[in-house]
Structure 1
Amino acid sequence: MFIKIYFLINSIVLFNQIYCVYFQFERENHWNLFGYDIDGVKYTSDSDYEQKVGAIHFENEALKDHEKFLIQKNLVPYGTVYFFYDQIVTIPRTRPGIPFTVNIMNTLNHRKNNYSPLLSPFPNTQEAKNIVSVYDIVIDGCRRLWMVDTGFNDVPGDRRQIQAPTVTILLVSINKYVVYQKIRIDPEVLRNGVTSGLRTIAIDYILPCSETFMYINDDSSNAVIVFSLRNKSFQRIVRSNANDEAWSFPVPKSIVNYMTNVVRYRQPPNETFIQYSDLLKTTIADREKLRSDAELSEPKANPRGVLYERNVDSNVLFFTNEERTLLFCWNADTPMVEENVALLTDISSNNDFYISGMETSGYVFKFLVNRIRNIDNNIYNEQAINFANYKVLVLEMLQNTTCSARTECSNFLDQWNKESSNYVMSDIKYYAKYITDEFKSDWKRDVEAIWAQL
């Protein structure tokens, strides 16, 4: 099914007037509300209890919301990644009735009879029960899936630290996900032990894959925590206030500094994030902190913030506004002036949808949208589509925009993508910046060595 959408692109630099650009998004899946398939037991409505063989429940027993097993309206995705025909979705525990915080579903829709697949616990039921609350999730070019489990249950009426926060790494293959490492986050890099702000992550690596750095934004205290996989060490970098200097470019300064300096230009063999700690100190203005008594109906109870994705084939940055209702692009090889930023689309004309997750791999751009719940009664219309997956070809989406023009860096990017594709396992947005000569000599052996450790 194709949904026809028209976009207005401000092309004032090229044509000094507004032009209408036409292209199509393909809607692949849609849901009124999410359901579950847990080891063959299907849930398509609310359930106070988990259905287990031999379990005894008292029908007249009154449960508080935070004691209920499944409340469908509270299954609101926060982040997502796509891997072949699997889609992995995170639902942080900021609302009651969330059985699992990390979930997987098969979104293959070859015969167009699988529009609304059910969620299942990820990577399996036993492992999923040990994961408390996850916001962001990332797959890198070494086929490793990264997440941060805050260990904090942020549900009103039951807020508590259940376990220590951890960095969790899984190895991924087609229909196979294996826990590789779990590393407890050093308490010294946390502010007063608070973990609920560990929301967004980014990965930076050099091949061989062991030289990897994970950047964790701590939204609760305006800092970034950097984890070295090789050294198993953590370092905290406190950010400066955005008001210290003017910044008018539409892309937040922290994203520009990270993408154009840390990600693209780390030099071999021993240069690390320490050389870029000053760049990582800059950020956009502080978000309003989540109050301990915040109600679910408050829009700021689960702040969204800017989403961004870099397409490595074109070095184009896709990013949203803070509300995630607008989608923009910027070719990072062009000057940082507003005229080089193009508005691709507003997600819905009534501002009743926002992007909850997006990803660009190779020549495809995919994203998941959520409907904004009714502010008055805090519920969804269960007869309407409230969540949907869309995809579009990157070249089609960028056609006739300032983001599609080739630059002096285009030839270099073409050559680098050709070389790196020989060593990166699949089309993943997180390409390595540098490949050591030792790794080139036998890259397949080194990658297989990781699996051999299991």
Structure 2
Amino acid sequence: MNTLLIVALTLGLAWAQAELEEVYGWKQMEFAWPDEKTKQDALQSGAYIPENNLPLGIQKWKNKLFVTVPRWKAGVAASLNVLDTDKPNKTAALVPYPDWTANTLPPAGAEKVPDNTVVSVFRTRVDVCDRLWVMDTGLADILGEPRQITKPALVIFDLNTDKLIRRYEFKATDLKEDSFFANVVVDVTPDRCDKAYAYVPDLGGYGVVVYSLAENDSWRVTHNFFHFDPLKGDLTVGGVNFQWTDGVFGLALSEPKANGQRLMYFHALASTKEFSVPTGVLQNKTLATDPHNYYMFKLEGDRGHNTQATSSAYDERTKILFLTQLNKDGAACWNTQRGLSPSSLGTIAKDPERLIFTNDIMLADDYVYMLSDKMSLFLYKSLQPDEVNYRIMRIKVQDAIRGTPCAGY
């Protein structure tokens, strides 16, 4: 009986992997330069060092696929970019968004930068009101000679016009000495676009910053659950062993409940546990900042050994949470209608070649999209320029969960 079960699970996993489609694959990132001279000048000056450009985050709106390239090192051509999915090309060049000027670093000593400037972005979020929310760290050359060009800021664009809606710089009270903002989720409904809230995890300072679009104000939320697990910071990805202390990182929002609130599912990167909190707690500034709110946050469960995750995405239709799986070269699912445990966590993709460091995951057009970028090799060793290092993969939601504990509940 056990043998039959193992065979069935193996066949189910292999079937799902066979459906995994490689949408894009790059050896190095190329950009859509205005002309060849501009590119050559950038190469000569060091403004563009191809091997230093690593894609990290993805979001999709209609035929636009946004791809972020954080300024880990010097020589990043543009941090916020877009691809036209109506023009299939697996090695398509990135087009800076909203334009080249907004992605060009200002000279040292510049007193004021344009409001639509994008310095260094890890992840973005598209909302139901056709807006792109960009969490700009404002920090360039993170691993070299760090330069804080602007304060950490939310930069919001109208996707129908590609024009800036607002730039909001975080207040001093939002920040801690080790603050680092690498993600954002947006809580809004189509009939109340002006009432949006953004939740921004601080993986280095172990908190969450809440931003109210209507009030144009922000506040910082703290909780023990935002910290990393000291026993789960040891990772091995792509054959590289390293230790991280990253706190709260992955955020995902459920569908609105009967009271209008959602649940925000969250986890630290250096952890295997998943937590949740009603968004009504976060949106109420008095309640969110009250040190006695401890029991309003909930432990959902533990995913099990080696299930550390960066990003997560929630499918409102199936009520399934999808997560990256760093140590396992893949991605997983959890049906939130069941308790979370190792037995209820399903594997939707696993590929030790094409999914090394699955860094981001998102849902669009009934597909699960995943970005893998071999970041452990990029940070601690080196990438091979003759190999495909960066990939964007996808699989249909129903195909992904078929044969896993996430289906048929």
- Rate the CA distance shift 1:268–1:226 in 2: closer, same or farther, 3 A: same
Q: CA deviation at 1:79?
A: 0.6
Instruction: Say which SS state the counterpart of residue 73 (structure 1) adopts.
Output: helix
The counterpart of 2:211, out of the listed 227, 230, 236, is: 227
Q: CA deviation at 1:18?
A: 5.3
TM-score, structure 2 length as denominator? 0.73
In the alignment, structure 1 residue 213 sits paired with structure 2 residue 222:
no
Q: Paired residues, what number?
A: 346
Q: Deviations over 1:14-38 (max 9, x none)?
A: 9587522113122222211111112
CA distance in 2, matches of 1:156, 1:25: 33
Aligned partner of 2:183 in structure 1 is 200
One-letter code aligned to 1:180: I
Q: CA deviation at 1:213?
A: 0.9
- Rate the CA distance shift 1:16–1:353 in 2: closer, same or farther, 3 A: closer
In the alignment, structure 1 residue 314 sits paired with structure 2 residue 309:
no
One-letter code aligned to 2:187: D
Instruction: Say which SS state the counterpart of residue 51 (structure 2) adopts.
Output: helix
In the alignment, structure 1 residue 265 sits paired with structure 2 residue 269:
no
- Rate the CA distance shift 1:380–1:156 in 2: closer, same or farther, 3 A: closer
Q: CA deviation at 1:212?
A: 1.1
Q: Deviations over 1:407-434 (max 9, x none)?
A: xxxxxxxxxxxxxxxxxxxxxxxxxxxx
- Rate the CA distance shift 1:233–1:68 in 2: closer, same or farther, 3 A: same
One-letter code aligned to 2:20: F
In the alignment, structure 1 residue 83 sits paired with structure 2 residue 83:
no
Identity of aligned residues (%): 17
* 1:372-383 → structure 2 map (5 Å cutoff): 374=377, 378-383=381-386
Aligned partner of 1:36 in structure 2 is 31
In the alignment, structure 1 residue 338 sits paired with structure 2 residue 342:
yes
8 A contact 1:37–1:43 mirrored in 2: no
Instruction: Say which SS state the counterpart of residue 373 (structure 2) adopts.
Output: strand
In the alignment, structure 1 residue 139 sits paired with structure 2 residue 123:
no
One-letter code aligned to 2:82: I
8 A contact 1:107–1:117 mirrored in 2: no
Instruction: Say which SS state the counterpart of residue 209 (structure 1) adopts.
Output: helix
Aligned partner of 1:123 in structure 2 is 98
CA distance in 2, matches of 1:98, 1:162: 15
Instruction: Say which SS state the counterpart of residue 208 (structure 2) adopts.
Output: strand
* 1:32-431 → structure 2 map (5 Å cutoff): 32-41=27-36, 49-50=41-42, 68-110=46-88, 114-129=89-104, 130-173=117-160, 176-192=161-177, 195=179, 197-206=180-189, 207-240=191-224, 259=253, 264-265=256-257, 267-268=259-260, 271=280, 273-274=282-283, 277=288, 278=293, 305-323=309-327, 325-348=329-352, 353-371=356-374, 374=377, 378-406=381-409
8 A contact 1:368–1:388 mirrored in 2: yes
TM-score, structure 1 length as denominator? 0.66
8 A contact 2:65–2:84 mirrored in 1: yes
Q: CA deviation at 1:255?
A: 8.7
8 A contact 2:182–2:249 mirrored in 1: no
Q: CA deviation at 1:258?
A: 6.4
Instruction: Say which SS state the counterpart of residue 100 (structure 1) adopts.
Output: coil
One-letter code aligned to 2:70: P
CA distance in 1, matches of 2:250, 2:386: 41
Instruction: Say which SS state the counterpart of residue 343 (structure 2) adopts.
Output: helix
Q: Note the residue ranges of structure 2 that are not aligned, 5 or more in a row.
A: 105-116, 233-246, 262-278, 301-307
Instruction: Say which SS state the counterpart of residue 398 (structure 2) adopts.
Output: helix
8 A contact 1:347–1:354 mirrored in 2: no
Q: CA deviation at 1:209?
A: 0.8
8 A contact 2:320–2:406 mirrored in 1: yes
RMSD: 3.8
CA distance in 2, matches of 1:256, 1:94: 20
One-letter code aligned to 1:401: T
Q: CA deviation at 1:191?
A: 1.2
Q: CA deviation at 1:75?
A: 0.9
- Rate the CA distance shift 1:224–1:367 in 2: closer, same or farther, 3 A: same
One-letter code aligned to 2:185: A
Q: Note the residue ranges of structure 1 that are not aligned, 5 or more in a row.
A: 1-10, 52-58, 60-66, 285-303, 407-454
8 A contact 2:29–2:93 mirrored in 1: yes
CA distance in 1, matches of 2:372, 2:136: 23
CA distance in 1, matches of 2:28, 2:199: 33
Q: Deviations over 1:146-170 (max 9, x none)?
A: 0111212243442121122221111
- Rate the CA distance shift 1:78–1:310 in 2: closer, same or farther, 3 A: same
8 A contact 1:254–1:283 mirrored in 2: no
- Rate the CA distance shift 1:25–1:257 in 2: closer, same or farther, 3 A: closer
One-letter code aligned to 1:354: F
CA distance in 2, matches of 1:352, 1:164: 33
One-letter code aligned to 1:99: A
CA distance in 2, matches of 1:325, 1:390: 13
Instruction: Say which SS state the counterpart of residue 406 (structure 2) adopts.
Output: helix
CA distance in 1, matches of 2:258, 2:327: 32
Instruction: Say which SS state the counterpart of residue 101 (structure 2) adopts.
Output: helix
